[in-house]
Structures are given as structure tokens and as C-alpha cells.
Homo-oligomer: A and B are copies of this chain.
Amino acid sequence: MSLTESSAIEVAKTASLASRRLATLSNTARNEALTALHAALLRNRDIILQANARDVEAATRAAASGEISQSVLKRLDLARPGKYEDMLKGVLSVRDLDDPVGKVTLRTLLDDGLVLERVSCPIGVLLIIFEARPEVIANIAALSIKSGNAAILKGGKESTESFVAISKVISDAISETQVPNSSIQLVKTRDAVSSLLAQDSLIDLVIPRGSNDLVRYVKENTKIPVLGHADGLCSAYLHSDADLATAVKVIVDSKTDYPAACNSLETLLVHQDALETILPAVAEALHAKGVTLRCDQQSKSALEKALPAVQQSMLQNSTENDYDTEFLDLVLAVKTIPSTSSPVSCVETAIAHINAHSSKHTDVILTSSRELAELFLNGVDSAGVYWNASTRFADGMRYGFGTEVGISTNKIHTRGPVGLDGLTIYKYLIRGDGHIAGDYFEGPGGRKWKHQSLPLGDSK
């Protein structure tokens, strides 16, 4: 066993022990730790910003030699106006959310004196791997403590100095509270990650938050359940009865508000009857934002007729591959949905394309028809399905969850933006009075089940 491996097991073991203690703490005790964490981050602002400045300095050199991008450099800088305050505010807003632990979601009288309860509880130990942005460590620590989970954190190497400084502040702060010290642990080397991914008996959930490559690497290399998404291939279906202004606004925002985000639009399906009536206005607005369109033949011909010559440079021929590509850039694949006598069958064709090609993240229909919209909302198998609204709403803060640890495209446990709810599971409690299963049987002398729903409320 290598030194890294043995220390990874040690980290996982102490996290597991800490998680058991953390799971039994009251909401008040967990909140006190978050108050202490907030105070410590406020008090140690200078030390943390000095550490961050060293990261920024190193990254500035790396950016100058082209090793990292300007956008990574920008995300790294905690000294930018408002950023440190947002981090502090984030900790308090998580603290002030409802307690996700101890919620009774089922209460059944099985028999006289025998009550079954389903009560929410923490999952246990989370391994969270994330890139770049240094303030994320404070958000994730806050979410983990609030949900009663221990967390092992590994951040991107560009932010190492910031992470070390912040995690020291976090450790010192929680050591004064009832939350066990090992509840939040930082690991620094990449090697540690692969050793940790092997600890499936100690770690309950991995949340990779970063590039598609990172997520794929994690999924390929662990038996621990992975929560997250490799791809964010979002699609819009533009039906011929859509309101033109709505279509333009929603498509432009979905594509251009933040093209590098996972909830940005990558494929536009256009009803044939909308090619000449709505698509040209959409294309003009996208052109103004610098978007290139990868079009199938039919949509390209329509736009070549409709667009002024100066805008036609935005048009390219699509290949089949484009409809499976997350561009993360100002590029949009366009495909025509053939017109038939039945609008329902057009929507069904769009749904079938999306279910086959999208990544089950977020998809949208643009239509004035409530009936067609409901068909689409019902038929598309994605974490988010929208009617006349931008794909960019797929976000924990925007959904009202306070913050998020990531967006899940899994089909089980939790889908879409993951807040505190997604970090809990439940257990079944039974309180009896010497009840035994052998007493319940058909026929004379056998006891019968009551199976009577009782009012919910807090546990106990």
C-alpha cells in the first residue's frame, strides 16, 4: 500500500466516523458551526486574500504563457469586488434554510402501538471534486454541514493556496463547535483522488463538479455512486405557432447568456412551417451576438433566402455529429422537423429526437399551444423540461434552493440542480412494544395489519 493510499484510507475512515457523529447533531448545533464558520471567514479575510493573491500571481504567469485561459484566471480572483462578500453571504443563506434532516415523510400505524416512520437523514460521506473557483469550498462546506454529511474536498490545483488557507480557517472554526473536526477535510494531490475513489465501503457519494473529462474519469473509475453530469446538451423545439418575440428572446438567452455553461442551448429543432416565419428573426438576433449556425439543408436554404447577405457568414452545413455535440461556445446546431397534417406528431418527432440525442439535462418547447406544451413536458425525459422559458433557469439559486452542489442528469436519487434535499436520504423507524412478525397471519388467531396513515410532522 502506497503512502498516498494509506493516507487516503485514513481520510475516508476519519470522515466516516465524523459523519456518524455529525448525523446525530441537532440543527442548532449544525447552524452554530455555520455561524462560527462565517465569523472565521470574516475575521481571516486578509490571510485568505493573501493566499489567493499568490494563486492569482501564479495563474497570471500561466495565463501569460498560455497555459491557462483568461476566464480561469478571472474566476480565481477572490479579491474582485463583491466576491468575498458573496461567499460570506452564501454561508449564512445555507444556514438559514430549513433543516433537511429529521423530516418525517411517511407515518403509518402498522398496528396498535406499532408505528412506522420514514425520516430524512444525511447520506454519510461525500467526496466532492471541483475545479478552480476558490469560493466554492466555503459553499460546499456549508451545504455539507447543514445536511449533516461529512465531506472530503479536492479542489483544482490553480487554487491550491486559497483552498489551504480557507480550509484551515474552516477547520479552526469548527473545532470550537460540536461538529467534529474531520467533517470537512481537504486533500491536495491528484493521486489521493484515485485512492479515495476505491473506498466504496467508506464513501457514499462522489460529486465531481468540473469539466466533462473530470466527470467521465470519475464515472469510469469508481463503484461509488456518482452524482453529476458529464454533458449538458440542451435542446429547444420551435413550433410554428410560437410567439415570435418569445422565441427570439428565449433562444438568444438560452444560447448566449453564458455559452460555456452546461445549461446553455446546443441544438435548435425548428418546425418546417417556422423556417420562413420565425427562424429568420431568431437567426438575425443570434447573428448580432456572434453565433454560428450549423444547419441541415432545409433550414440553411430557408435562411439563405431570408437573411441579408452580410449575415449569411453565420451559416454552416451541419453533420450528424453536430446534433450530439455540446459546443460550449457560440455555435448552435439547427435541424428541421418536417411538417405533417398533425401538430402532435411534429412535437412527438421533436420529443423522440431529444430523448435520443439530448443529455437529459434541460430542454424547452416554444409554442403558444398549452396542449402541445403539456405533451412536450410529459414526453421529454430530462431533469428539466420548460415551456417558453430559457434553459438557463436550470440552476439551484434560480430554483430557490439557496445554492447547489451541482446539476444531476442521473435517472435515480436526484435530478437537476442539487441542493440540500439531494444530499439527504431517509431511514425507516419502527417504535413498538414487543411486536413480532410471527403474530401476523391469515386465519384464526392471526393479527391483522392496520396500515393507517397518520399525520406527518417532526420525528418523535
Contact = CB atoms under 8 A, between A and B. Distances in A.
Interface of A: 20, 23-24, 108, 110, 114, 116, 121, 123-124, 204-205, 219, 223, 225, 227, 243, 245-246, 249-250, 252-254, 257, 351-352, 355, 373-375, 377-379, 381-390, 392-395, 398-400, 410-413, 415-417, 425-438, 440, 449, 451, 460
Given A24-B378, A430-B389, A425 B437 contact: no
A436 B110 CA distance: 49
A240 to B, nearest CB: 17
Contacts of A425: 411-413, 415
7 contacts: A20-B381, A250-B436, A386-B431, A386-B432, A390-B432, A398-B440, A417-B428
A395 to B, nearest CB: 8
A103 to B, nearest CB: 12
Contacts of A400: 108, 110, 116, 449, 451
A410 B223 CA distance: 12
Contact of A412 (B204, B385, B438): B204
B223 A219 contact: yes
Given A383-B428, A415-B426, 5 more contacts: A23-B378, A225-B410, A227-B412, A383-B427, A400-B449
Contacts of A434: 243, 245-246, 249-250, 388-389
Contacts of A123: 411-412
A110 B398 contact: yes
Contacts of A431: 373, 377, 386-389
A434 B246 CA distance: 5
Given A250-B434, A379-B20, A413 B415 contact: no
A431 B373 CA distance: 9
Contacts of A373: 431
B110 A432 contact: no
Given A123-B412, A411-B204, A426-B415, A436 B249 contact: yes
Contacts of A387: 429-432
A384 B436 contact: no
The 6 A-B pairs of least Cβ separation, nearest first, read A389-B432, A392-B437, A253-B436, A246-B434, A400-B451, A413-B413
A253 B433 CA distance: 14
A292 B227 CA distance: 44
A382 B20 CA distance: 11
Nearest to A451: B400
A388 B225 CA distance: 33
A138 to B, nearest CB: 20
A116 B436 CA distance: 45
B390 A435 contact: yes
A272 to B, nearest CB: 23
B413 A412 contact: yes
Contacts of A460: 374
B20 A389 contact: no
Given A219-B223, A416-B428, A257 B436 contact: yes
A155 to B, nearest CB: 24
B438 A392 contact: yes
Nearest to A16: B355
A20 B124 CA distance: 34
Nearest to A364: B430
Contacts of A204: 411-412
Contacts of A427: 381-385, 415-416
B437 A393 contact: yes
Nearest to A101: B378
A108, A225, A253, A412: which has the most chain B beta carbons within 10 Å? A412
A116 B108 CA distance: 30
A377 B415 CA distance: 29
Contacts of A377: 429, 431
Nearest to A430: B386
